[in-house]
Structure 1
Amino acid sequence: MRRDFGAFTETVEATAAVLALTAPERDHCGGTAWAEREALRDSGLLTLAVPAEFGGPQAPWPLIYQVIRRFAEVDSSLAHLFGFQQLQIASITLFGNPAQKCRYLGKSVAAGWFWGNATNGLDNRTSLVWREDDGGYYELNGTKSFCSGATGSDMLNVTAPSPENPAERVFFSIPTSRAGIQVHDDWDNLGQRQTDSGTVTFEQVRVERDEVLGPPGTAGTPRATLRTLVSQLILIEIYVGNAQGALLNAWKYTHEHGRPWVSSGVERAIDDPFTQQHYGDLWIALRGSIAMAEAAASRLQAAWERGDDLSTEERGAVALAVYEAKIVAARAALEITSKIFDVMGARATAAKFGFDRFWRNVRVHTLHDSLDYKLKDVGQWVLTGEVPVPSIYS
């Protein structure tokens, strides 16, 4: 099945084919997918979100999300790394001053930088202090967890409590190779096994004044707070991509290996009425999640194009569309990646197929932040008309 990614179609499909070739085996082994990371770099797709004025293709967000979904269909971990690369670029675009955007985004294109992150907003084990000596600089110490893409990256986006106001975060961009930074290979979770999402420690790391971006996150304008929604839609497309990949693999397995139930009265699995019913349910769930994800992506693109004219209410309306899509996509993906075994049967649970990876990936990723609170915010809006307040997860 080929998709249309416009001028990027051939490159996206060729890259997806490389990722698919060894995805089940690599998922089983875990660790870092060095060759596949380089395939992403070599594809030129890492710069999709870079604005044209800095040498990038400035692809619209709906297209970028479709590429993430395509990659997640075959390799959820590398789709995660690819998506978070676009998020780091968006962070520079939203938070950086003109000189910083020229430097970081221009070099991302010219040097093919791979970006990692150490921005977990719930992990405040880092400290940033101002040193007056040697011309003045910040010193960073501490630890950050869930640092997706940090391994093998060229640059890191990092957050730490502000020295002036610890309740606020400082957001800055530094080379991963800088003295005092250590990326640990300690990611050993149930799913998303090759996202290099372990911990990073910082020991007396120098951060220059002009490496600090701003205003970050919820302290900025409605436009600046779009970063969170960019992030949330990446998660959504990873859910949808896993669901799509699971259903496609189940379809292929049912055609090639499926058996009808002994009392079905049919000779082919595809003619078994209950198998057909299950596929109908799963297909409808997938189609619904895709429709809502694409609608939310279109709303985000429109808000992105509004720039500094974006209002708080407009931003809130986008957030609601993203929340709705995330709830539907998470539920659909958990259902589809689990229920494919109902249509494939017991033999499909053999380790050689690796079909369980789709469920494991979704199960881990849907725990990224609370779906309950997304649902609560939607319900609050239904009852009161009050839009969500921007936060590190909303």
Structure 2
Amino acid sequence: MTTTQPAWTATPTDEQAWLGRAREVAAILATDAVARDRAGATPRAEVQLLKDSGLVTLLGPAEHGGGGQNWTTAYRVIREIAVGDGSIGQLIGYHYLWFWAARLVATPEQIAAVEEQATRERWFFGGAVNPRDNDLIITEDGDELVYNGRKSFSTGSRVSDATVLEGVLAGTDKHIFAIVASAQPGIVFNDDWDNLGQRLTESGSVEIRDVRVPWAQAAGYVDREFQPRVYSTLNVPLIQLVFTNFYLGIARGALSTAATYTRERTRPWPYGGDLKDAATEEFYILDAYGDLQSKLWAAEALAERAAAAIEAINAHADTVTERERGEAAVLVAAAKQRAIDTGLEVGSRVYEVTGARASAASVGLDVHWRNIRTHSLHDPVAHKRAEVGRYALLGQIPEPTWYT
């Protein structure tokens, strides 16, 4: 990163101020986003920027120096950050989910303890919770749990202060979440993230070797038994809507970058029989921008509707019903598929409105498409369409799983 950041001192006090702060951060990230993507270096400075700006504390309690904001604001902040850099939009989005993990599954006492310390110390969260891998195996050693295993993806953990672990207690079907310090000998982050897009998310594999956690810190467990709630299953809709919003931010960044290029560098086409003075007067260019912007606005509106459903659930977390949770998940599935389709279309068609010279590596328009294409493979979008189809046709809601 090459741009000097503002000397932030005050914590924003309302949503508009937080969104303004996010736009400031996004503008800093955008100045060298292409160069940083090409370099693929560990984003330590970028995470420090998120800390210095206070954005990591957005969901933290106000009495501990946090923003005290809700998920609607968090999703909008994610979108703004992703406009400047899609990888960092993903990192802040995952951070918010893992910061909220205690709210989802922990006891009230555990929630209070984690959120106070994480907010005051401006922790950045990562997670080793890839469900497609075999779970980490947990064994008991007196009053401690011992985690061992490997996860092939661990987004953000290498640049995190705290890592969320999830595993299964040996000989049982008990899944146990715990928050541990990332910097310890038993957690080994491998430098093996080498994918097409989202290159700065540090999503490589991690080895967990004899990481010890007191039973008292097993999230949501009382006397070694889990206290279940419907709300505990909201982690998947929450993070799927995180995905949706950084896809939309990336798409907006692509469209904005392309528009600047078109205004400043694209030349009108001289062989169509209707020579224009500027590319911005070309009918086909105006038509394409109008089409893409309309589709993006529509996808953003659906994402906002899904966020409102999540917010309604958060307002009565202890009494949410399976039907409420399921209908929110359907809206999230609909918003995600629209964001993917729109984002990929924007990322591809921007070349049509910028011209051949815009394919130069120095312009970096390819970054946006690569980022959405890479992360949108996280889970098959066809299954999201089918979830919406079952609801539309049969009135069925998805059963909670690791992906629904």
Per the shorter chain, which TM-score range? over 0.9
**Cα 1:279–1:219, aligned 2, differ >3 Å: closer, same or farther?**
farther
Secondary structure of 2:100's match? helix
- Within the alignment, does 1:32 sit opposite 2:26 as a pair? no
**How far apart are residue 88 of structure 1 and its match?**
0.6
- Taking structure 1 as the reference length, the TM-score comes to 0.94
CA offsets, 1:217-258, max 9 Å, x none?
Answer: x99422111111110111001110111000011111111011
Structure 1 residue 112: deviation in Å?
A: 1.1
Structure 2 residue identity aligned to 1:304: N
Q: Which residue of 2 aligns with 1:380?
A: 390
Query: In structure 1, how many angstroms separate the alpha carbons of the residues matched to 2:52 and 2:307?
Result: 26
Cα offset, 1:56, TM superposition: 2.8
Q: What's the counterpart of residue 201 of structure 2?
A: 195
**Residue in 2 aligned with 1:251?**
259
Give 2:76's match in structure 1, choosing from 66, 87, 100: 66
Per the alignment, residue 262 of structure 1 pairs with 270
Q: In structure 1, which of residues 157, 177, 183 is the aligned counterpart of residue 183 of structure 2?
A: 177
Cα separation, partners in 2 of 1:180 and 1:96, compared to 1, 3 Å? same
Q: Does the residue aligned with 1:202 lie in a helix, a strand or coil? A: strand
Out of 304, 308, 312, the position equivalent to 1:302 is: 312
Q: Confirm or deny: 8 A CA contact 1:124 1:161 kept in the other structure.
A: no
Shift of 1:160: 1.2
Does the 8 Å contact 2:18/2:77 carry over to 1? no
Residue pair 2:19, 2:77 contacting (<8 A) in 1 also: no
Greater shift in the superposed pair: 8-17 or 282-291: 8-17
Q: Is the Cα contact below 8 Å between 1:18 and 1:39 reproduced in 2?
A: no
Cα distance 1:9–1:330, how it changes in 2: closer, same or farther (>3 A)? Answer: closer
RMSD: 1.7
Equivalence for 1:7: 17
* CA offsets 1:259-295 (integer angstroms, 9 cap, x no match): 1222332121111111111112111111111110111
**1:302-325: CA deviations, max 9, x gaps?**
111121111111111111111111
Aligned partner (choices 342, 345, 348) of residue 338 of structure 1: 348
Tell me, yes or no, if the aligned pair for 2:61 and 2:119 is still in contact at 8 Å. Answer: no
Aligned to 2:229: 221
Q: How many positions carry a matched residue from both structures?
A: 385
What are the equivalent positions in structure 2 for 1:1-394 lying under 5 Å apart?
Answer: 5-52=15-62, 55-124=65-134, 126-132=136-142, 136-166=143-173, 168-214=174-220, 220-264=228-272, 265=274, 266-394=276-404
Change (3 A) 1:39 1:139: same
Contact 2:15 2:69 in 1 (8 A): no
| TM-superposition CA deviations, 1:306-363 (whole Å, max 9, x none) | 2111111111111111111111111000100111001111100101111100000000
Q: Which runs of 5+ in 1 are unaligned?
A: none
Task: Give the AA of the match of 2:253.
Answer: G
Identical-residue share of aligned pairs (%) = 36
Opposite residue 232 of structure 1, the aligned amino acid is Q
Q: Which residue of 1 aligns with 2:11?
A: none
Length-normalised TM-score, structure 2 = 0.91
State the Cα distance separating 1:164 from its structure 2 match.
Answer: 4.0
AA paired with 1:203?
Answer: R
Unpaired runs of at least 5, structure 2: 1-13
Which portions of structure 1, spanning 4 or more consecutive aligned residues, are displaced by more than 3 angstroms?
51-55
Which secondary structure does the structure 2 equivalent of 1:225 belong to? helix
The 8 Å contact of residues 137 and 206 in structure 1, kept in 2 or not, is answered as yes
For each residue in 1:366-393, what CA deviation from the matched residue of structure 2 results, as whole angstroms up to 9, or x when unmatched?
1111211111111111121111111111
